[in-house]
Amino acid sequence: MIKNIATPGRTKEILEKHGFSFKKSLGQNFLIDVNILNQIAEAAGMSEQDGVIEVGPGIGALTEQFAKRVKQVEAFEIDGRLIPILEDTLSPYTNVSIHHEDVLKADVKKVLKEKLQTVKETAVVGNLPYYVTTPILMKLLEQRLPVTRIVVMIQKEVADRIAAKPGSKEYGSLSIAVQYYSKAATVMTVPKTVFVPRPNVDSAVLRLEIRDKAPVDVKDEQFFFQVVRASFAQRRKTIWNNLQHNLLGKERKNLLADALEQADIDPKRRGETLSMEEFAHLSNQLYERITDIS
């Protein structure tokens, strides 16, 4: 019987065998709790007809759990020192391919098309390094990959921000950006004690169910996100001040006043009180007026 990778003893044995040392710059923290890995795999809800794209397999602890459950796993690992380790630890599994690539630079769409064309559904999974969580998630979402869901372990604070609702202190431009493309929910909190080396903060498993279409209609997607980002530029300032200083300029304050009035939004409100629907309505009103001028 194959021993699970994600036990303290086996992880230590693998690291010592290959003389591996952790790189702080890559945010490497390996999970040493099989129960939690099983819960992540269950949260992804994949069957033996499905496929998985994994980001940052490390020494293969999560990869192994999916290799047992799905038809094919395509894993992206940036650290070349881990490639021979993965070839060793995952040698019992014929349905795993390792790509020595930075997922931010990789052509994930091409891999999906070429390697996972025969699967029923695909999910993206991974234990994401804290320092690069947002760029990875936004790349995966903005590319509109043909995947059903994304299930990732990330810093708990970031998961809270992503899943936040209007009116909460965690709610911001990241909440809106991710929820525009997906339905976000935190599956579970993961204590820092189950990682080696131990990180400074707790983690959480985040599940993103990819939407077929955006929940709001916007006239220009890029402009919508510009309005959202500008509205949160300085959290203590009103939407009037933020949009005037960070997007439109003082010379367009009449245009802003008119758009806010038409969108039925009080200029004294702060960005965190506006729902995605209100942001969509406001950005559409602003976009109409700006394009009319130009």
The answer to whether 29 is a known ligand-binding residue is: yes
Residue 203: how many CA atoms within 13 Å on its side-chain side? 25
The answer to whether the annotation marks 31 as part of a ligand binding site is yes
Backbone φ, ψ for residue 232 (5° rounding) = -110, 10
Sole residue written with tokens 């367009």: 252
Query: Above 80 in pLDDT, residue 292?
Result: no
The answer on whether 95 is annotated among ligand-binding residues is: no
Dihedral sign, CA of 35, 40, 44, 50? negative
In order, the DSSP letters of 9-36 are HHHHHHHHHHT----GGGT--EE--HHH
Q: How far is Cα 129 from Cα 115, in angstroms, rounded to an integer?
A: 25
Q: Parallel, antiparallel, or unpaired for β 51-55 and 122-127?
A: parallel
3-state secondary structure of 60: coil
CA distances to 28, 30, 37 from 194, rounded to whole Å, are 13, 8, 11
The closest of 187, 185, 141, 271 to 282, measured between CA atoms, is 271
The predicted-structure confidence for 31-78, as pLDDT tens digits, reads as follows: 999 999 999 999 999 999 999 999 999 999 999 999 999 999 999 999
Contact 146, 114 (CB under 8 A): no
Provide the pLDDT for residue 130: 85
Structure tokens at 42: 């269950």
Q: Say whether pLDDT at 181 is over 90.
A: yes
- What rounded mean pLDDT belongs to the chain? 94
Q: Which residues contact 98 (CB under 8 A, 6 or more apart)?
A: 57, 75, 77, 83, 86, 87, 90
pLDDT reported for residue 1: 60
Residue that has been written with the tokens 């949009």 in this structure: 243
Residue 90 annotated as part of some ligand binding site? no
Q: How confident is the model at residue 294 (pLDDT cuts 50, 70, 90)?
A: low
Q: Which domains does the chain have, with CATH numbers?
A: 8-210 (3.40.50.150), 221-293 (1.10.8.100)
- Cα three-residue angle 17-81-104, rounded to 5 degrees: 145
pLDDT digits (tens, 9 = 90+) for 213-264: 999 999 999 999 999 999 999 988 999 999 999 998 777 889 999 999 999 9
For 122-166, what is each residue's pLDDT tens digit?
999 999 988 899 999 999 999 999 999 999 999 999 999 999 999
φ/ψ bin of 19: left (φ > 0), alpha (ψ from -120 to 50), beta (otherwise): left
Model confidence at 204, in pLDDT bands (50, 70, 90)?
Answer: very high
